[in-house]
């Protein structure tokens, strides 16, 4: 499976979180349930893909493009 940033996923695509590369954002993201090993699905995207809404752990979370770029994921088939 290919590892990409969450910002590269399209609406409807799902992936498994592998790593959060931005140490500053990681605390906030982890508190919202974005943990390595969790499944994440892109639910909505604004024009130019900023922000996006993702579903993780049953919660809908809005992320700016730079935050999504710091989350590395493995795309699910």
pTM for the model stands at 0.89
Tokens of 31: 């508190």
pLDDT value at residue 41: 97
> What's the mean per-residue pLDDT of the chain?
92
Q: What is the pLDDT of residues 48-65, one digit of tens each?
A: 889 999 999 999 999 999
Closest among 71, 62, 77, 7 to 38, alpha carbons compared: 71
Number of domains the chain contains: 1
Domain enclosing residue 35, as ranges: 3-75
Closest among 57, 68, 65 to 32, alpha carbons compared: 57
Query: Per-residue pLDDT averaged across 9-29, rounded?
Result: 91
* Residue 5 host element (H or E): strand 3-5
């Amino acid at each position: 499976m290919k590892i990409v940033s969450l910002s590269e996923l399209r609406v409807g695509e799902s992936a498994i979180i592998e790593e959060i590369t931005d140490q500053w954002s990681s605390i906030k993201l982890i508190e919202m349930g974005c943990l390595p090993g969790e499944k994440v699905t892109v639910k909505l995207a604004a024009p130019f893909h900023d922000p996006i809404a993702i579903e993780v752990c049953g919660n809908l979370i809005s992320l700016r493009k730079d935050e999504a770029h710091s989350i590395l994921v493995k795309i699910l088939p």
